[in-house]
Structure 1
Amino acid sequence: MRVLVSVRDADEARALQAAGVDYIDLKEPAAGALGGLPTAEIVRLVGLLRAAAGPSRGAAVPPAPPPVPRISATIGDWPAQALEIVLAQAEAVAACGVDLVKIGVRPDPGPAAVALLEALAGRARQWQAAGGPGLVPVLVADAGVPWTVLDAALAPGRLTAWAALMLDTEDKRGGSLLQRCGEAALRETVAAVRSAAAGQAVPELGLAGALGLDDLPRLRAIGPAYAGFRSAVCAGERAGPLCPQRLRALLAALRPAVAA
């Protein structure tokens, strides 16, 4: 199970890259679950991370550069009805050089969510054809797994448009994703994503939403491709600064063989 951690600034991004985190997710936690950073800041952070992963110069035996992470960025919290704004924000973030663009999809009202997914699938295919970033619908699951929206995302005409799918929560104080959805429903979600492929490339499924160290055994049993964290690596509120000690503890728990 790979790990995604959300960061808001250069110091946090460098710490994650040095630690070898698989996905570095650029967002502003103080602005909501999918709070977006200014596009100029996204461009700056992407440049810093790409440069740090390049070859070192000026040393007889240069140290190994930190690994190149997959970089994602959010577009901000927008309702499904704000379709034109969502698409414009998606294009702006896609132009920042990230690998993945994350876009929230709320379950209510259902028709608006399905219309948003249809529009996003079209945009995702355009990006694929142009060699652009992948698009990741983030299905909001505060009230449990949004089955209607998930079915719409997995429809044959849309499935291959996505680089990945995520389930996440908006209200981080209302319990973790595991508490909101239950382990059985999340196992069913993983199985649904895998079975929908029918021989096609399967979009990876990630789980996030106030997840903590105590959730790791159940997450492994559920089997998502990756899990996302922010609250677990902050000393206080998720809008506060990242805590290096908590980050090390999380990675040690996820990768005991490496830590040993």
Structure 2
Amino acid sequence: MRLLLSVISKDEADGIKNLADVIDIKDPSKGPLGPPNPETVKSVRGAAGPGKVISVALGEASPDYKADAKRAMTMVEMGADIIKIALADVSGFSPVEAVSFIRNTLPGEVKLVLVAYADGAKRGFMEPATLPSIAGLSCADGILIDTCDKTGLSLFDSINTFELENILEESKTLGLTTALAGCLDMGDIEKLASLAPDYAGFRSAITIGKERGSDGVDCAKAMLLKEKLSSIQTESVL
């Protein structure tokens, strides 16, 4: 399990670039998967260096998937290696058709990760259990289960472990990369390790004051997360 740390600026990226396996860029002021300004992506890419993997949030997929694909390409041109797009309200379009179009627009080396919200049912959003099959049918590269409501409830408050296990198992059977995120903290690492996604994502757990929208990360918190993750994985091998 590798560490994905979310940042909102170049300064934050400078602080955690040697701790994160993936530097994720988003703008929390625009929603749970708020797309950042392309110039922010460019500046983070420059700070991280050519060897670091950069993922970028694109927001939620829309019926105008040609516009979504265009926005995705802009992020790639700024330095994104991974594009994340959420499937939330898909009542007005075919998610397979939309994702397939975006996937075919992106260069082959760029990964496309689909996101479902564990707590999205109350808003009429797509059920997370359907995500692996949609990802497989549309030739996406991976899936992420996240939360939409960032006001306190975590991923594990929003979905039961059994359902997560089934989603991860199906995804891995389909050859998809897997990731979990959603108001996760240090205390969730053991449970994450037992589920064994490919990536675990953190934002509020590494920020100063635990405010996901504030500009400033606490490098000591990020280091503790990395050390805890490494120790748990070492124990599982022994």
| C-alpha distance in structure 1 between counterparts of 2:118 and 2:64, whole Å | 19
SS at match of 1:3: strand
Instruction: Indicate how the Cα distance of structure 1 residues 111 and 41 shifts in structure 2: closer, same or farther if over 3 A, else same.
Output: closer
The C-alpha deviation readout for 1:83-140, integer Å capped at 9, x for no partner, is 232112111111112211111221542744333223233334xx11xxx422222223
1:211-254, CA deviations, whole angstroms, 9 ceiling, x for partnerless residues? 11111111111110111110111223211221223212211211
Q: CA deviation at 1:256?
A: 2.6
Change (3 A) 1:193 1:107: farther
Gaps of 5+ in 2: 122-126
Alpha carbons 2:180, 2:200 under 8 Å: kept: yes
Q: CA RMSD in A?
A: 2.3
Show the counterpart of 1:188. Answer: 166
DSSP 3-state at the match of 1:138: strand
| TM-aligned CA distance change 1:258 to 1:183, over 3 Å | closer
2:199 to 219, 223, 226: 226
SS of 2:42's partner is helix
For structure 1, the 5+ residue unaligned runs are 52-67, 197-201
Distance between the aligned counterparts of 1:22 and 1:149, measured in 2? 24
Which amino acid is 2:5 matched to? V
| Matched AA of 2:54 | I
Distance in structure 1 (CA, Å) of the matches to 2:201 and 2:118: 14
Matched residues, number: 227
Flag the structure with larger Rg: 1
2:13 corresponds to 1:13: yes
CA contact (8 A) 1:139 1:150 kept: no
Structure 1 letter corresponding to 2:56: A
Q: Is residue 113–residue 149 contact of structure 1 (8 Å, CA) maintained in 2? A: no
* C-alpha distance after superposition, 1:133-160 (max 9, x if no partner): 22222223323652234322223xx3xx
Counting aligned pairs with the same residue, the percent is: 26
Range that drifts further, 42-51 or 230-239 = 42-51
Aligned residue in 2 for 1:38: 37
CA distance in 1, matches of 2:92, 2:131: 7
Normalising by the residue count of structure 2, what TM-score does the alignment of the two structures yield?
0.85
The 5-angstrom pairing of residues 105-144 of structure 1 reads 105-109=87-91, 111-124=93-106, 127-128=107-108, 132-143=109-120
Is the 1:36–1:73 contact (alpha carbons within 8 Å) kept by the matching residues of 2?
Answer: yes
Counterpart in the other structure of 1:238: 212
Distance 2:3 2:92 in 1: 30
Deviation at 1:164, TM superposition (A): 2.4
State whether residues 29 and 238 of structure 1, in contact with CA within 8 Å, keep that contact through their aligned partners in structure 2.
Answer: yes
Structure 1: 4+ residue segments shifted above 6 A: none
Secondary structure of the residue aligned to 1:162 is coil
Measure, in 2, the Cα distance between the counterparts of 1:192 and 1:87: 27
* Alpha-carbon contact 1:143-1:181 (below 8 Å) kept: no
Who is 1:210 aligned against?
A: 183
Contact 2:129/2:163 (8 A) holds in 1:
no
Deviations 1:36-86 (A, max 9, x none): 2211221122122216xxxxxxxxxxxxxxxx32111122x3452232321
State the alpha-carbon separation in 1 of the partners of residues 89 and 196 from structure 2: 24
